[in-house]
Structure 1
Amino acid sequence: MSPKTIFSLIIVGGVLSILSSSLYVVQEVERGVKLRFKEVVDDDLEPGLALKIPFVEQVMKFDGRVQVLDAPPEEYLTQEKKRLLVDSYITWKISNVKNYYTSTGGGSIRNASRLLAPRVNNGLRDKFGLRTVHEVVSGEREELMVELTSEINQFTEDELGITILDVRVKKIELPAAASEAVYARMRAERNREAREYRSTGKELAEGIRADADRQERVIRAEAYRDAEKVRGEGDALASGIYADAYSSNSEFYSFYRSLDAYRKSFSSKDDLIVLKPDSEFFGYMKASKPN
């Protein structure tokens, strides 16, 4: 191989090396900064392929996805000075790449965790110290976490370039005596709620029964009124029929009424009626004697 060929290959290799060191790629899930002589000149690189000055500029890339910091269990004192062993975790992500790079000394996740852990630990200690065991275990845990996340973010977003997405308690362990006391209060509260529900249900049931009784009385009264009305109309109709019959043939009507009276009076063989001899009750029978 001639010296000219070797020189050409060296030139081509140098050009390729310079070209490759001039290109960089930022993935969609990454955040990056561009440095020039160790100073940040571009603090939020766009995803994609771009150019940089070889040997002068450097690109630092970091994972932009949600990170999880699993904090070691810590002991905290409640408002009643009772000890709780709390196991918690934190979810966070980079919000300001320049601040993150500067505060963590190069963007190490380990350094970021080292900075976050004591801040969250102190926040939990303060929040638990303002609450009772009952409030922490069953009452105000969600409110506590929301408050803590908001307060920590006031520091981490400006100082560390990190946004805390959530602080969550995985487990709270209580001393045996404290556990029993908390559970006893919880049972008492549930029993109180159950009594309230039963009392409310009883009141509703009594109201329903009273309404049903009232409706029954109204229905019975209306039915009695309608029956009396029908009975009255029937009696009036019967009286009208009797009156018409009497007016058309009074003698036959009297005879018919007497026969009806005989039938009702002698419905049994043992019936006995004592009358005066001149009583008109048997007037038609007397009139029917043969001559």
Structure 2
Amino acid sequence: MARAQIFLPALFVVGAVALSSVFIVDEREQVLVLQFGQVKQEIRQPGLGYKIPFIQDVVRYEDRILGLQTQPLEVTLKDNRRLVVDAFTRWRITNLIDFREAVGAGGTDAAQSRLDRIVSAAIREVLGSVPSNAVLSEDRTGLMNRIRDIAKREAASLGVEVIDLRLTRTDLPEQNLAATFARMIAERQREAADEVARGNEAASRVRAAADREVVEVTSDARRQAEVIRGEADATRNGIYAEAFGQDPEFFAFTRSLTAYERALGEGNSAIVMKPDSAFFDYLKDPKGGASRQP
């Protein structure tokens, strides 16, 4: 009985020690086994790992691709224009021992901070050597590749690899936005004024051409009307002359009736003339002017 009381606690202690010496490495991570801060083992494959209990420690690191969004920084370009720039970087740990020696116990957070400084310095170096139109153009892949290559070279000492880098922001500083917007508005207003002036000039030309065409058409119409009126008068006079030649008495009679109609019409209330005037020939005698002939 006494042996059982001693054996069970000893077995429990041995089991606890055995369990504390075993650890699991996930497929998404890589592990360093440290003994008093010194690297004793590097494990990059998933599965079971072993360590000396209470003496060795297990430090886990990401084996996946990580992302870093850099802090916005103000960059002076080659043409002295200033831009606020930031970038998104994809990176991963490639050498655990170098990584541990470079960042110490800070791990991924310390690496992110140092990598942010490396990328920012590379951005300043590359963008400071090019004009603003190269940065603000749609095709700036070459600039991003140059920044990536510089950052990749500098980050190699950290035991990490910079896989890709993309500029996510290239904006004017806040203090310059108002002046830039005002200049853009002034340019657009000037362009609008130029377009309005050109439109008014074109409208004036169209109106002048239309007025000239109206005058020409009206003058031609009047000329044609006068010609037609003259031809009509000539035809009318010819008809009158022909009618007078065929029957002068009837012609004189119709002319007298027309004169009576005009003289005695509305508005002509008084007529003063001699009683023996020829005007009354057809009123006194149906034969009219024939009675005066010898």
What interval of TM-score do these two structures reach, taking the shorter chain for normalisation?
0.5 to 0.7
Cα-Cα RMSD: 2.2
Aligned to 2:263: none
Count how many residue pairs are aligned between Structure 1 and Structure 2: 180
Aligned to 2:52: 53
Please identify, of 135-144 and 123-132, the stretch whose mean Cα deviation from structure 2 is larger.
Answer: 135-144
Residue by residue over 1:170-206, the C-alpha shift from the partner in whole angstroms, topping out at 9 and shown as x without a partner, is: 121124466878xx9xxxxxxxxxxxxxxxxxxxxxx
Q: In the TM superposition, what are the counterparts of 1:130-209 in structure 2 within 5 Å?
A: 130-138=129-137, 141-157=140-156, 159-174=157-172, 175-176=176-177
Q: Which amino acid aligns with 2:91?
A: W
Q: Secondary structure at the match of 2:120?
A: helix
Tell me how far 1:34 sits from its aligned partner: 1.9
**How far apart in 2 are the matches of 1:48 and 1:63?**
15
Tell me if the contact between 1:79 and 1:131 (Cα under 8 Å) persists in the aligned partners. Answer: yes
Q: Secondary structure at the match of 1:114?
A: helix
Tell me if the contact between 1:62 and 1:107 (Cα under 8 Å) persists in the aligned partners. Answer: no
**How far apart in 2 are the matches of 1:13 and 1:54?**
15
TM-score, normalised with respect to structure 2 = 0.56
**How far apart in 2 are the matches of 1:141 and 1:3?**
81
Q: In the TM superposition, what are the counterparts of 1:269-288 in structure 2 within 5 Å?
A: none
**How far apart in 1 are the matches of 2:7 and 2:44?**
36
Tell me if the contact between 1:44 and 1:97 (Cα under 8 Å) persists in the aligned partners. Answer: no
Tell me how far 1:9 sits from its aligned partner: 2.4
**How far apart in 1 are the matches of 2:9 and 2:60?**
31
Tell me how far 1:167 sits from its aligned partner: 1.6
TM-score, normalised with respect to structure 1 = 0.57
Tell me if the contact between 2:30 and 2:62 (Cα under 8 Å) persists in the aligned partners. Answer: yes
Q: Secondary structure at the match of 2:54?
A: coil
Q: In the TM superposition, what are the counterparts of 1:241-260 in structure 2 within 5 Å?
A: none
Q: Secondary structure at the match of 2:127?
A: helix
Q: Secondary structure at the match of 1:62?
A: strand
Aligned to 1:239: none
Q: Which amino acid aligns with 2:160?
A: I
Tell me if the contact between 1:31 and 1:61 (Cα under 8 Å) persists in the aligned partners. Answer: yes
Tell me if the contact between 1:44 and 1:98 (Cα under 8 Å) persists in the aligned partners. Answer: no
**How far apart in 2 are the matches of 1:39 and 1:148?**
35
Residue by residue over 1:120-179, the C-alpha shift from the partner in whole angstroms, topping out at 9 and shown as x without a partner, is: 11110111110111001116521111111112212212x111111112111211244668
Aligned to 2:259: none
Q: Secondary structure at the match of 2:117?
A: helix
Gaps of 5+ in 2: 188-294
Q: In the TM superposition, what are the counterparts of 1:67-86 in structure 2 within 5 Å?
A: 67-86=66-85
Tell me if the contact between 2:29 and 2:44 (Cα under 8 Å) persists in the aligned partners. Answer: no
Tell me how far 1:112 sits from its aligned partner: 0.7
**How far apart in 1 are the matches of 2:142 and 2:112?**
24
Residue by residue over 1:58-81, the C-alpha shift from the partner in whole angstroms, topping out at 9 and shown as x without a partner, is: 221111111111112111011011
Please identify, of 123-132 and 140-149, the stretch whose mean Cα deviation from structure 2 is larger.
Answer: 140-149
Gaps of 5+ in 1: 185-291
Aligned to 1:98: 97
Aligned to 1:6: 5
Q: Secondary structure at the match of 1:170?
A: strand
**How far apart in 2 are the matches of 1:57 and 1:124?**
41
**How far apart in 2 are the matches of 1:135 and 1:6?**
81
Please identify, of 125-134 and 40-49, the stretch whose mean Cα deviation from structure 2 is larger.
Answer: 40-49
Tell me if the contact between 2:103 and 2:110 (Cα under 8 Å) persists in the aligned partners. Answer: yes
Tell me if the contact between 1:33 and 1:44 (Cα under 8 Å) persists in the aligned partners. Answer: yes
Aligned to 1:119: 118
**How far apart in 1 are the matches of 2:180 and 2:5?**
83
Please identify, of 102-111 and 69-78, the stretch whose mean Cα deviation from structure 2 is larger.
Answer: 102-111
User: Residue 45 and residue 6 in structure 1: after superposition, are their counterparts in 2 closer, same or farther (change >3 A)?
Assistant: farther
**How far apart in 2 are the matches of 1:154 and 1:88?**
17
**How far apart in 2 are the matches of 1:34 and 1:172?**
44
Q: Which amino acid aligns with 1:92?
A: W
Residue by residue over 1:53-111, the C-alpha shift from the partner in whole angstroms, topping out at 9 and shown as x without a partner, is: 22233221111111111112111011011110113221111010111112111252211
User: Residue 129 and residue 141 in structure 1: after superposition, are their counterparts in 2 closer, same or farther (change >3 A)?
Assistant: same
Aligned to 2:41: 42
Q: Secondary structure at the match of 2:101?
A: helix
**How far apart in 1 are the matches of 2:46 and 2:103?**
22
**How far apart in 1 are the matches of 2:108 and 2:14?**
36
Tell me if the contact between 1:31 and 1:44 (Cα under 8 Å) persists in the aligned partners. Answer: yes
Q: Which amino acid aligns with 1:144?
A: L
Q: Which amino acid aligns with 1:53?
A: I
Q: Which amino acid aligns with 2:127?
A: F
